[in-house]
């Protein structure tokens, strides 16, 4: 059994999800490469201790630099708010640690470039937590596109629609604060749609977008709110929202295909419509996270009169499904995607072979995000190499 | 029985669809206002005679001016290529005829304004053939929005996706020729998505779009091709396509809601995905023409834990359904929508009350279309009052 | 142009639907064989005259024997309540008329056998109005099964679910009266599911079923109720329901495949779920009338990891679709199915070639119906050759 | 932290799934009641040792009686073939252990009665592994039915359709051997549909069914096959299948509602269509395990013209969902259902309050199963109190 020892910075909801995945990994993938939690950090001693207890980790600290400096730690895992990613990641890389960072990679392209430079200079591995790319059904999508089953790509659509924000009483959290989050729906949600479409179709070269803050202020919560904060009680004090509720943008992929990407936290009626549609000259795909165990597949090569979108359920033929279930359509869940992700991380560390999506990919996503933000601000088309 | 006598200009596929609807109208709506075909015209005597025979009309002409001048004709019905709409419509109005014109209304805003001015000056009625707005289920959508059931509109999406053009051997027809059609997917297809969303949500004030010709040339057909031309044999001679295969644009509605509208004749996998999604603070709607007898309805006011999109089938509670079927979900078809449209026309003529959508509405759509074309050409946001 | 002159007995909702279809037939199928309404009959002079006016027919009578005796009538078309079918059909055949009769063919197998004998003895054509079998998409289903694309049939399911009867205030109509209708959901609704599955898979050899009357009495309507009667006002007088609200039965097809067929007029939530699922060793089909312009197709021969049910929309490749629409998914409606049916009838009469489904097929359905009724009464398996 | 120590008998695929759930339980539900694996047993020392290693348990044995006798074991967990359930469970109860047993509970009603008697006599808790009943969305279904939101139940349908058996080369496993499995699709698969429908609607009082073995013999595998055996290589030797491939039956629930239940391992096209439809006078529900994170809800009390089936995704409002995900539609998977089940077990043991579904419920399912088997053999209706 090869253990990979992890120092986790941030033990809120997402950090705890990582910790669960570390424990689940050997249950499903065996002990060739087992992620093990060595120490956790959070902003205060109280948060750190409570988080450590929640995830069953004996060691904790309120100083993330202790994690970075810890000689037993091989991987620094960062789940703190976006504004802290770069500093921690760069310090970790400079300390010779592999770095595993939640998405979006950074506050902006400049930070992301520094992060990429740091891991490259240190020769350490990196991984960005775009866990939805780990869905076994995306393996089918990727194989079909790489095989040319879709032909030349004609159009790409991506959506990330949730309606948790439609309620005006949803409390203000760090995600609504530009200083801490960078952007709102764009970085938090569109980044997921970008991770799927850019993984499948490639880089984006130019964008033209718009962003709107439609609910201008929100009540402050009475306690620190984790995640989207929708379960926390609110008070009467209001605070101005400075990140986008919704974003839509046109774009062009490197292969010439036009695209449209949208995200909204006010998408009434949609719960997890993290979706894409990819149309090619020979076929097409449609996927939505609301039905993450299936994909819609269209092949223009089917006989005339019998062409149509086909519902294919995840099954043992798709990568990383069979460890969870022996038969198709038995369903994997959100947490299983994280388990696949951390297992990929552990295998990368154990073998020294790069994991994906790495910081280089995370930077590509940040370039799109920054270009969209600039485009929205200046109301013009922006090339991703401008930012 | 009140007859409304129609002179039909253009008896290709669409003209014949109108003629069928004239005959079907009294079968479903009784004889209060019955459209009757008086005379047909087409480009050549051969086409006109063949068309007349196909629709069972005794009189025909190769000169549309004869139709306009005919004292027995009360309504001039125009189904010829876009480039001819304005001239015929204006002549008809000036001759005191009501005018019924297929969509898109004109080649451009300038023509459309002249057409509106002509019908207003003449005091005649006008109707644009956006038949998809006549779907009974759109009556439900409209009622819900007008009642405020969706609250404030937060986002509007429209699509018009078909894949008839994906085959590179689809012959060149007038729709691919900018000089005759004006635009391609934009005017022909996005106009449908616009007719639905602008009817339901209101005017569009600004757009930012892109248009692409992805299949640069197409084989000329061996015979004159009607409709989309996909059933006609092709030769070896090629011709350059000058209208857009695909178009996507961002937009803003007069009420402030952002929107995204797309259309493509290369939308592999989609057959008639003329669809929209309208999200509001209290509810949302999704509709696609591929399933024209149903709509998806979401109400945020349903109890927590029991909210979701609901599939509502067309039924007797929706306007103009019951003449076709006594019970819900028995299904109406494409031609039934035309029947509703021509009945609305006949009632308008018989009663003197305006029909809708009229030329004023058609102009609004043309403003959006021209603004998008300008925006795509100049790669910038364009206000609809700029064109 | 070849006219086929029809005498229509019964001009309620269904009779009027026939009359519309006669007029629509040449609009879509041309004038090779044109059904023309010659005379109509109904139970009283008032009903007959009103019906004649509604369908635009000049001649009417309150005595169906006049229709049968009319030398100009080539086809007698029967849309009266089930109890009258046999007498009229047999008289028509004996008078040398072709016979077109609504489903279910008769009150029972004995009547149906007499009807088959009568048309055979007279050498006239017959047609039963199972219009749902005329759906172009059923042509695809039939071709696939006949080609062996599904392999050996393993299981057949049929449903006919509507919820118009769930309302206890739905008035009593002749369909609830055993003396006039024979059975309820069984003959009226399951017969449709049987028409589709027996057309596609073949005869049924044995059944075991149950029937229930769950709403024991219903209010009498204040006026004569046509169709399902759900639009008619009710009074306070109640009448005992004597036909089944719901029926379910197991069965065996002649090829050995087991089957389950169900029908209910109390199927809360289902509007026109006239559906079937046919599973074979190599493929499977699922269809529902609620989405009559599509079928779900599964092929076990697709590559592993890419197998799934495919949504195929009706299109020009399917029989009798293109007269209505040039492109796929443009949608046909309920009345279009009747148009196809009456055109098939007219072609049969014009050419002398048998139409289908004929009375022989209608008898097969009646055998299943009677066997189910006997099975339900005696709570045992019953062979269809027992009845 | 309260530990509940478990002795696991059978460490094949299902036993390992239990072991994973024991570990996952405290990750999601905290440490109030934590199931801990104490010892495992399997048929041979090799299987037991390999299984122990796979699940990370230090102690193993090839004699299940050792597990039963182990003083540290509080719960005996039985995942061995059906034929062994009764003997082990009864011995466990007699040794004062709580008993957790996979479904179906036993080979027949006689065994099941003895098992119920044993746990009652010993005063120990029991739980049957119908994990699909643990789906949070079933909590919504149950609440709606118990609240009367569906009104009186009019019809119940259940399906358990998979197509793993359609391949004639699927090897022979114990599930095809009547001596070891009792029945095939009936006990293995229909039992799931019964667990859901009987939990929601209540007991079944009579049945009339048919069972078929359609693939008469299958190749023996070259190695012992676990689960459905579809991943094991086959040899050339064939063995006769003695359990049913498909089963369909009519039934009556104690409240008078008719029902139809079906199961097939040859259900071409269906992967995990473990589904039900429940129609009541005021509403209806449809669920399928292929989309386990959603349910279709119909309320007849919605306004006329706006009634339809609604897709409700699992979310925090549904029991036991929030430990896995903070927001709706994030998806839980198959293994999460087992985690909920074993947590319920641990809570029951820790608190002494009964878990459900207990052996009494398992017996009710066995009564239905045996009644169906008798009904199919004798081709007649059978009351569940006959068996």
pLDDT above 80: residue D373: yes
Question: Closest-CA residue in chain A for B247?
Answer: A258
> Closest Cα partner for B28 from B384, B277, B323, B377?
B323
Whether residue B290 and residue C315 make contact (CB cut-off 8 A), yes or no, is no
Q: Does C263 touch chain D (CB under 8 A)?
A: no
| Chain A residues with CB-CB distance to B258 below 8 A | 210, 212, 246, 248
| Inter-chain CB pairs, C–D, below 8 Å | 110
Q: Which residues contact C24 (CB under 8 A, 6 or more apart)?
A: B20, B23, B24, B27, C335, C336, C339
pLDDT above 70: residue D63: yes
Give how far Cα A235 sits from Cα of A47, A165, A243, D326, Å.
Answer: 22, 17, 21, 21
Whether residue C269 and residue D279 make contact (CB cut-off 8 A), yes or no, is yes
- Name the phi and psi angles at A209, rounded to 5: -135, 175
Residue C230 has a pLDDT of 59
Antiparallel, parallel or unpaired: β B382-383 and B309-313: unpaired
Task: Work out the average pLDDT over B259-279.
Answer: 98
The answer for C 284-303 residues in CB contact with A (under 8 A) is 294, 297, 302
Question: Closest-CA residue in chain A for C307?
Answer: A312
- Please give the model's pTM, rounded to 2 decimal places: 0.97
Task: Work out the average pLDDT over B17-21.
Answer: 98
Tens digit of pLDDT for each residue in D179-213? 999 999 999 999 999 999 999 999 999 999 999 99
Task: Work out the average pLDDT over D114-136.
Answer: 98
Whether A80 and A179 have beta carbons less than 8 Å apart is answered as no
pLDDT above 60: residue A25: yes
- Average pLDDT score over chain D: 96
- Name the phi and psi angles at D43, rounded to 5: -65, -35
Q: Does D260 touch chain C (CB under 8 A)?
A: yes
> Closest Cα partner for B306 from D289, D300, D137, D150?
D137
pLDDT above 60: residue B194: yes
The whole-angstrom separation of Cα B41 and Cα D380 is: 72
Q: How far away is chain B from the Cα of A267, in angstroms, using its nearest Cα?
A: 6
Tens digit of pLDDT for each residue in B76-107? 999 999 999 999 999 999 999 999 999 999 99
What residue spans of chain A are helical by DSSP H? 13-29, 45-55, 64-69, 85-94, 109-122, 136-146, 178-181, 185, 191-201, 334-351, 359-378
The whole-angstrom separation of Cα A81 and Cα A10 is: 8
Lowest mean pLDDT among A46-50, B223-227, D90-94, D364-368: B223-227
Nearest beta carbon to residue D326 from set A23, A227, A293: A227
Nearest beta carbon to residue C214 from set D154, D250, D381: D154
Q: How far away is chain D from the Cα of B162, in angstroms, using its nearest Cα?
A: 27
- In the numeric block, which tokens belong to residue C77? 């078309």
Q: Which residues contact B197 (CB under 8 A, 6 or more apart)?
A: B156, B158, B259, B261, B276, B278
Q: Does B334 touch chain D (CB under 8 A)?
A: no
Q: What are the DSSP calls for C156-190, one per residue?
A: EEEEEE--TT-STTSPP-GGG-HHHHS-SHIIIII
- Average pLDDT score over chain B: 96
- Name the phi and psi angles at A210, rounded to 5: -140, 145
For chain B, what percent of residues have pLDDT higher than 90?
Answer: 95
Task: Work out the average pLDDT over D81-93.
Answer: 96
The whole-angstrom separation of Cα D100 and Cα D110 is: 19
Q: Best of A305, A312, A313, A319 to disrupt the C interface by mutation (most C CBs within 10 Å)? A: A305
> Closest Cα partner for A72 from A152, A4, A165, A124?
A4
Whether residue D312 and residue B306 make contact (CB cut-off 8 A), yes or no, is yes
Whether residue B304 and residue D317 make contact (CB cut-off 8 A), yes or no, is yes
Q: Does B282 touch chain A (CB under 8 A)?
A: yes
Report the run of H or E that residue C278 belongs to, with start and end.
strand C273-280
Q: Which residues contact A360 (CB under 8 A, 6 or more apart)?
A: A116, A126
Q: How far away is chain D from the Cα of B317, in angstroms, using its nearest Cα?
A: 5
Residue A232 has a pLDDT of 73
DSSP letter (8 states) at residue D380: B
Q: How far away is chain A from the Cα of C163, in angstroms, using its nearest Cα?
A: 27
pLDDT above 90: residue D99: yes
Whether residue D327 and residue A227 make contact (CB cut-off 8 A), yes or no, is yes
The whole-angstrom separation of Cα C68 and Cα C90 is: 10
| Chain D residues with CB-CB distance to A333 below 8 A | 293, 324-325, 330-333, 335-336
pLDDT above 60: residue D226: no
DSSP β-bridge partners for residue D60 = D40
- In the numeric block, which tokens belong to residue C258? 């087991």
pLDDT above 70: residue B258: yes
DSSP letter (8 states) at residue B73: -
Task: Using the CB atoms, write b or e for A136-166: b if 16+ within 10 Å.
Answer: bbbbbbeebbeeebbbebbbbbbbbbbbbbb
Tens digit of pLDDT for each residue in A301-346? 999 999 999 999 999 999 999 999 999 999 999 999 999 999 999 9
Tens digit of pLDDT for each residue in C30-82? 999 999 999 999 999 999 999 999 999 999 999 999 999 999 999 999 999 99
- Per-residue pLDDT band for D225 (boundaries 50, 70, 90) equals low
Other CB atoms within 10 A of residue B90 CB: 20
Query: Touching A: which chains, 3+ CB pairs < 8 A?
Result: B, C, D
- Per-residue pLDDT band for C224 (boundaries 50, 70, 90) equals low
> Closest Cα partner for A364 from A22, A154, A128, A29?
A128
The whole-angstrom separation of Cα C369 and Cα C207 is: 9
Nearest beta carbon to residue B317 from set D294, D297, D305: D305
Lookup result for tokens 């197409």: B218
What residue spans of A161-219 are helical by DSSP H? 178-181, 185, 191-201
The answer for A 134-173 residues in CB contact with C (under 8 A) is 140
The whole-angstrom separation of Cα C13 and Cα D378 is: 46
Tally of helices (H runs) and strands (E runs) in chain B: 11, 17
Task: Work out the average pLDDT over B271-294.
Answer: 98
Residue A1 has a pLDDT of 78
3-state helix, strand, coil in chain B (%, to 5): 35, 25, 35
- Per-residue pLDDT band for D361 (boundaries 50, 70, 90) equals very high
The maximal CA–CA distance of chain D, rounded, in angstroms, is 66
The whole-angstrom separation of Cα A95 and Cα A66 is: 11
pLDDT above 80: residue B224: no
The whole-angstrom separation of Cα B64 and Cα B67 is: 5
- Per-residue pLDDT band for C222 (boundaries 50, 70, 90) equals confident
> What is the SS3 assignment for A197?
helix
Task: Work out the average pLDDT over A123-129.
Answer: 98
Other CB atoms within 10 A of residue D5 CB: 17
Whether C32 and C350 have beta carbons less than 8 Å apart is answered as yes
Question: Closest-CA residue in chain D for B316?
Answer: D305
- Per-residue pLDDT band for D224 (boundaries 50, 70, 90) equals low
Residue C27 has a pLDDT of 95
The whole-angstrom separation of Cα B100 and Cα B78 is: 6
| Chain A residues with CB-CB distance to B300 below 8 A | 163, 166, 268-269
Residue A226 has a pLDDT of 56
- Average pLDDT score over chain C: 96
Rounded to 5°, angle at Cα D93 from D91 and D94:
65
Nearest beta carbon to residue A267 from set B155, B267, B268: B155
Q: Does C330 touch chain B (CB under 8 A)?
A: yes
The whole-angstrom separation of Cα C198 and Cα B99 is: 51
Nearest beta carbon to residue A281 from set B246, B268, B379: B268
For chain D, what percent of residues have pLDDT higher than 70?
Answer: 98
Q: Does C250 touch chain D (CB under 8 A)?
A: yes
Antiparallel, parallel or unpaired: β A34-41 and D126-128: unpaired
pLDDT above 60: residue C227: no
Residue A228 has a pLDDT of 58
Residue D3 has a pLDDT of 97
Q: Best of D148, D153, D215, D268 to disrupt the C interface by mutation (most C CBs within 10 Å)? A: D268
Task: Work out the average pLDDT over D251-258.
Answer: 98
Nearest beta carbon to residue D381 from set C214, C282, C379: C379
pLDDT above 70: residue C226: no
Whether residue D230 and residue A327 make contact (CB cut-off 8 A), yes or no, is yes
Tens digit of pLDDT for each residue in A210-265? 999 999 999 998 876 555 565 678 888 999 999 999 999 999 999 999 999 999 99
């Amino acid at each position: 059994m090869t253990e990979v020892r992890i120092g986790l910075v941030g033990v809120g909801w997402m950090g705890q999800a990582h910790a669960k995945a570390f424990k689940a990994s050997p249950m499903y993938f065996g002990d060739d490469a087992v992620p093990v939690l060595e120490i956790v950090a959070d902003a205060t001693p109280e948060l750190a201790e409570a988080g450590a207890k929640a995830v069953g980790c004996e060691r904790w600290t309120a100083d993330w630099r202790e994690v970075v400096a810890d000689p037993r730690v091989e991987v620094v895992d960062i789940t703190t708010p976006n504004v802290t990613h770069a500093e921690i990641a760069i310090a970790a890389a400079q300390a010779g640690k592999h770095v595993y960072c939640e998405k979006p990679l950074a506050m902006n392209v400049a930070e992301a470039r520094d992060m990429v430079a740091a891991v490259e200079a240190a020769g350490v591995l990196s991984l960005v937590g775009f866990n939805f790319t780990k869905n076994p059904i995306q393996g089918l999508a990727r194989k079909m596109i790489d095989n040319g089953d879709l032909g030349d790509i004609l159009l790409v659509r991506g959506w990330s629609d949730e309606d948790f924000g439609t309620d005006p009483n949803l409390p203000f959290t760090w995600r609504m604060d530009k200083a801490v989050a960078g952007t709102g729906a764009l970085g938090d949600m569109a980044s997921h749609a970008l991770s799927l479409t850019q993984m499948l179709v490639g880089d984006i070269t130019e964008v033209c977008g718009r962003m709107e803050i439609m609910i201008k202020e929100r009540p402050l919560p009475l306690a620190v709110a984790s995640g989207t904060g929708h379960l926390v009680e609110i008070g009467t004090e209001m605070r101005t929202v400075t990140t986008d509720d919704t974003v839509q943008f046109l774009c062009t992929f490197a292969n010439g295909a036009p695209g449209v990407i949208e995200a909204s936290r006010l998408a009434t009626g949609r719960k997890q419509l993290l979706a894409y549609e990819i149309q090619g000259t020979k076929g097409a795909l449609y996927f939505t996270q609301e039905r993450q165990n299936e994909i819609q597949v269209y092949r223009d090569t089917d006989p005339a009169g019998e062409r149509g979108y086909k519902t294919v359920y995840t099954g043992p033929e798709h990568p990383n499904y069979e460890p969870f279930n022996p038969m198709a359509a038995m369903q994997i869940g959100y947490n299983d995607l994280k388990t696949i992700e951390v297992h990929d991380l552990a295998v990368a560390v154990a073998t020294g072979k790069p994991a994906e999506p790495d910081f280089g990919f995370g930077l590509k996503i940040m370039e799109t995000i920054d270009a969209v933000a600039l485009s929205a601000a200046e109301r013009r088309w922006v090339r991703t190499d401008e930012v």
